[in-house]
Amino acid sequence: MSPIRKIALRRIKQAPIKHLLLFAAILVSMMLISMLVFFSAETILRQNLAEKELPLSSFLQTVRLCITVAAGFLVLCSAIMIRIHIGLNRKQNEQLLAVLTSVGASPAQKKAFPFTQLQLIYAPAALCGILPGSLLGVTLGRRFLGTLGALISPAPSALLYLGVLLAQVIVGVGITALCCLLPQITFTPRSVISALKRQNPRAAVTSHSYRQSNTFKQKSLLRRLAQKSVDYSAPTYHTISLSFSISAFYPILMLLMMWHLLHVKVVLDANPFDGIETTGAVVSAVSHLFLCLGIFFLLLTLIGLASAWLMVRLQYANRRAAGKTYFSIGMDNADFRRVMRHELQTLILRSAIVLLIGTMIANTAFLMCVGG
């Protein structure tokens, strides 16, 4: 076995929970995305053409649009999640690459490391999610059309499904590959040196220029210390707050989608020619879809919260270790707790802002689907 592969395998063995969460996050996201894609595909492929002129087809159109939007946001969220997990190992990876460079690993050998990780975790997780997700999507789509009475009996050729599946696999694995290879490819000699030096020059520079400003000097000392710590471990705090906001964004996305979809029924109700038991039919048609979505979104939220919690605990341990410096210059435990509280406030504020912006964007997107 090549040394690079050995390193990748031992990393997994050393931190099984972290990697399990990552695997689960990718698996569930991919399952959900492919379920939505196949739901849309099935409703397009097997929709009764005779119904096309009826408002039913416009309802179907809206459902599909909403689902596409949700799938788009999900792809974005899972891409960010993967980046977050890779960010967790940034320091470790930089040090590894620094040692590899210093002992003369060629550029190709250095790139082999992220590729091995792709092979061991990201790609299997994506592939495991896609197949069951697509089967679920087809089943749900069929049931959906059946309830609305718009299912045509002859199933389209299996080749068509295979095509969609192939496209899905390519897109899914492509996205994961892109997410996990990009940060490593932009690796520069500068980071080798800083990794070997055990320093963080970028954060030091930003906090330095910050320290010069007047507003900063007027803040209380503890608040300033907290601010400096947040500046210094900026990547960690960004990661944690992003992780919290994404976890909270999943149920919000789900609720937004439900709300907008259930609103469409008013249009159906108002039309005397739709030929179906309006409200009841719509609710029963989408109920299975919503049930599945609910389970998936719940899983994603739990996984997201678990990994965010893991990061918080890690950062807290780091800060506790650094707390010794505060004690050595005569601060007491209460002061330290206050510093930690300020840091926590920053974290919560950031997560809330990101979440708010995300919600607004998602809401606009859904409004455009339903309104148009």
Partner 1 sequence: MLHIQNLRKTYPTTDGEIVALDNLSLVVNRGDFVAVVGRSGSGKTTLLNMIGGLDTPDSGSVMVDGIDMVRLPPKRAALLRRKTIGVIYQFYNLIPELTLRENITLPTELDGREIDEERLDHILSVVGLKGREGAYPDALSGGQQQRVAIARALFGQPSLLLADEPTGNLDAENSREIMRLLTMMNQTYGITVLMVTHSEEAAASAGRIITMADGRIIDDRRR
Which positions touch partner 1 (CB under 8 A)? 2-3, 6-7, 10-11, 14, 95-96, 98-109, 189-190, 192-193, 195-198, 205, 208-209
CB of residue 288 to partner 1, shortest distance in Å: 46
| The two structure tokens encoding residue 213 | 């400003």
Tell me which residue of 146, 114, 141 sits closest to 45, measured CA to CA.
Answer: 141
CB of residue 3 to partner 1, shortest distance in Å: 5
Do 179 and 79 meet the contact criterion of CB atoms below 8 Å apart?
yes
CB of residue 176 to partner 1, shortest distance in Å: 23
Query: Looking at beta carbons only, is 108 or 158 nearer to partner 1?
Result: 108
CA distances from 139 to 64, 159, 288 (A): 15, 17, 10
Do 351 and 241 meet the contact criterion of CB atoms below 8 Å apart?
yes
Query: Looking at beta carbons only, is 216 or 326 nearer to partner 1?
Result: 216
**Which residues 6+ apart lie within 8 Å of 244 measured at CB?**
304, 305, 308, 347, 351
Query: Looking at beta carbons only, is 100 or 140 nearer to partner 1?
Result: 100
CB of residue 197 to partner 1, shortest distance in Å: 8
| The two structure tokens encoding residue 152 | 């045509």
Query: Looking at beta carbons only, is 55 or 114 nearer to partner 1?
Result: 114
Query: Looking at beta carbons only, is 318 or 333 nearer to partner 1?
Result: 318
CB of residue 193 to partner 1, shortest distance in Å: 6
- Residue located via tokens 């063995």: 13
CB of residue 189 to partner 1, shortest distance in Å: 6
Do 301 and 355 meet the contact criterion of CB atoms below 8 Å apart?
no
Q: Distance between CA 140 and CA 151 in Å, rounded?
A: 12
Query: Looking at beta carbons only, is 196 or 298 nearer to partner 1?
Result: 196
Q: Distance between CA 61 and CA 207 in Å, rounded?
A: 51
CB of residue 177 to partner 1, shortest distance in Å: 23
Q: What is the dihedral of CA 205, 208, 210, 211, to 10 degrees?
A: 170
Query: Looking at beta carbons only, is 197 or 219 nearer to partner 1?
Result: 197
Tell me which residue of 125, 234, 129 sits closest to 177, measured CA to CA.
Answer: 125
